[in-house]
Structure 1
Amino acid sequence: MNYFQSILRSLGQVMFQNNVYTGLIFLIGIFYNSLILGFAALLGTIVSISTAQILNYSKDEIQDGLYGFNGALTGIALWYFFGFSIPTFVALIISAALTTVLNYYLKKIIPPFTFPFIIITWLMMIFFLFVLDFSLVSSSFPKENTLQLLSFSTNSFGQIMFQENKITGVLFLFGILINSRISAIYGVYAAILGSLIGLIFKEPISIINAGFMGYNAILCAIALADKKRESFIWISISTFLSVILTIGFSDIGAIALTAPFVLSTWIVLKFRTYFK
């Protein structure tokens, strides 16, 4: 097994792209925006892959990055929300390892997607906030009155890995494009549609421009994308559901992560199977 390729494929699999070059471009995009989050992505991926190897999971699945991407997301999330420190360093290692184990058992029941990342990260956030009394790293959004197509479309891609940066978003889109043109096209469509739905529901313009209404929609689109005509309908439905769920999580004061994507895609897959 080529360990370096497995790391890059894992990063590509965050957006369902089993491609070494895609993963490399994603990594470059993260490092361009944040060195610390770039290292978090690498460390989380390495720990997840190593855990899968120690537990003798499928070598082919490890090589294809199926055990690394949840660890990458968890690593980025922990250092994004709580910064780098000894406790968050230890938490990253434990969390990344746990995503691998959870992913292994979940895939026997249901497509896990990023659900292991969501569950482990939520648990760690609860632990840090209510047990260790940590505070979230503060972030502020400038008040904006104008919807900006370039901002919300590129930032939507960036926010999939907690990167609010236009250049990073463009790199992420390019990384998808070199592996799957249909995924890139539907991803752009979902980013725009999700953001416009957020506007219809009167979400703050600053939140929309930051990409928070589009990133779950993009993941839905890529997960469901194929060349069948009906895919456009299913992607549109899942995009709508993801935005509604994103707003719902926000209204109850919860950090949604990629839960709207996972829930929306599970629902659509169930309906699609039923209608078939």
Structure 2
Amino acid sequence: MTPMPLLDFLRALLKGFAQVFFMNNALTGLFFLIAIGVACQASGDWGPFWGSLVGGASATLTALVIDRAKDPLHTGMYGFNGVLLGVALPTFLQGDGLMWGLIVLGAAMTTIIVDALSNVLTKTWDVAVSTGPFVLTTWLLLFSVAAFDGLHFIAPVSDTLAVPQAARWADLDALLALQVTLRNISQVFLLNNAWSGLLILLGVAVASRGGALAAWLGALLALVCATVLGADRQTVQSGLYGFSAVLSAMAVAVVFIEPSPRSALVGGLAVVFTVIIQGALNHWLAPYGVPSLTAAYLIAMWLFTLPKMDLLIHPHQPNRSSSFGRN
């Protein structure tokens, strides 16, 4: 185990928060932590706040104990999946001692899974693992609730799918559209709070104005798409059709593909596709009471970033040129 000064550990922990939005900046992470606190203060439930700290610390400490590479550890790359898991479990499970133990265990597992998936996805196809460990670990823990009497969902699982009341343009005024757009951003951390969304957007802007613009436009386009498609009104207005799309917009337009007008257009297409995937996953998982988390973003991000190495506009060309304008 490589020793790590407390200040360096705290900085790595905050960067773990920041890396949820692809940012390597401790101040950005502090903005995100405050955003979680604002939402918890409004709801009266501080479980997600403490859970994010416990999950991030567990994942980071696990990486430290198993002597992971210094740069990924210090930049928060081993922490952000644990942060998200720490927010998710108190959101969906009853907060007893067993649940907190699962946060520690699950967050530690995300660190192991980061390396496992990296050996397959990153080394083979040059695509990011991203939130894959969070989705996989959290899904396994939530699906296991049906098998163990000691675990319980906060809300009972419905045996039938609710009949949606479709979103309409008439439901939206300028203020509500602004609030929903910000909730699309805050729901990346499973927070239904527009003020939290604003703090998160400001935190992203601290590190990357281009990233903040992509997040905002992705959130707005997701609202437009979900409304045009007639998704469930309450789900749309809670931001649950936009959070994965926000990450897709950032990932494809500015993070994993070299920013350009063409990547911006492809990023917009990724947002539309993400909203559709979100609807499919919501319908599939609803009878089990298990959320889709960021799975829609993962599917879209993997599909839209894989071509940067392997999909050719002109297959007869000898060089492996990118369809996104990047060699």
TM range (shorter): over 0.9
Q: Provide the residue aligned with 1:241 in structure 2.
A: 273
Where does 1:8-87 land on structure 2 (aligned, <5 Å)?
A: 8-34=14-40, 35-87=46-98
Tell me the secondary structure at the aligned position of residue 62 of structure 1: helix
Offset, 1:225? 2.9
Q: Provide the residue aligned with 2:283 in structure 1.
A: 251
Offset, 1:134? 4.0
Q: Which of 151, 155, 161 is the equivalent residue of 2:179?
A: 151
Percent of aligned positions that are identical: 26
The Cα RMSD (Å) is 1.7
Please tell me whether residue 271 in structure 1 is matched to residue 307 in structure 2. Answer: yes
The question of whether the paired residues in 1 share the 8 Å contact of 2:28 and 2:203 is answered with yes
Q: CA offsets, 1:166-203, max 9 Å, x none?
A: 11110001000111111111111111111111112211
Q: CA offsets, 1:244-267, max 9 Å, x none?
A: 111001112342100000110000
1-structure distance, mates of 2:279, 2:68: 37
Aligned residues: 274
Structure 2, unpaired ranges of 5+ = 41-45, 122-127, 157-164, 313-321, 323-327
Query: Which stretches of structure 1, 4 residues or more, deviate above 4 A after TM superposition?
Result: none
2-structure distance, mates of 1:3, 1:253: 37
Q: Which amino acid aligns with 1:83?
A: Q
Offset, 1:86? 0.8
2-structure distance, mates of 1:253, 1:217: 18
The question of whether the paired residues in 1 share the 8 Å contact of 2:58 and 2:108 is answered with yes
Offset, 1:205? 1.8
Tell me the secondary structure at the aligned position of residue 230 of structure 2: coil
2-structure distance, mates of 1:170, 1:22: 13
Q: Provide the residue aligned with 1:113 in structure 2.
A: 130
Offset, 1:77? 0.5
Q: Provide the residue aligned with 2:159 in structure 1.
A: none
Q: Provide the residue aligned with 2:240 in structure 1.
A: 212
Offset, 1:98? 0.3
TM-score (norm 1): 0.94
The question of whether the paired residues in 1 share the 8 Å contact of 2:114 and 2:133 is answered with yes
Q: Which amino acid aligns with 2:81?
A: N
Q: Which amino acid aligns with 2:13?
A: I
Q: Provide the residue aligned with 2:106 in structure 1.
A: 95
Q: Which amino acid aligns with 1:269?
A: T
TM-score (norm 2): 0.80
2-structure distance, mates of 1:12, 1:22: 5
Q: CA offsets, 1:142-162, max 9 Å, x none?
A: x88713212211101110001
The question of whether the paired residues in 1 share the 8 Å contact of 2:99 and 2:151 is answered with no
1-structure distance, mates of 2:11, 2:262: 34
Q: Which amino acid aligns with 2:247?
A: L
The question of whether the paired residues in 2 share the 8 Å contact of 1:151 and 1:210 is answered with no
2-structure distance, mates of 1:19, 1:230: 27
Q: CA offsets, 1:42-87, max 9 Å, x none?
A: 0000000110011111111110000000001011111110132111
The question of whether the paired residues in 2 share the 8 Å contact of 1:197 and 1:243 is answered with yes
Tell me the secondary structure at the aligned position of residue 124 of structure 1: helix
Once the two structures are overlaid, the 10-residue window that deviates more, 197-206 or 68-77, is: 197-206
Q: Provide the residue aligned with 1:186 in structure 2.
A: 214
Q: Which amino acid aligns with 2:49?
A: G
The question of whether the paired residues in 1 share the 8 Å contact of 2:270 and 2:304 is answered with yes
Q: Provide the residue aligned with 2:12 in structure 1.
A: 6
The question of whether the paired residues in 1 share the 8 Å contact of 2:29 and 2:203 is answered with yes
Once the two structures are overlaid, the 10-residue window that deviates more, 98-107 or 200-209, is: 200-209
2-structure distance, mates of 1:97, 1:182: 32
Q: Provide the residue aligned with 2:124 in structure 1.
A: none
Q: Which amino acid aligns with 1:73?
A: L
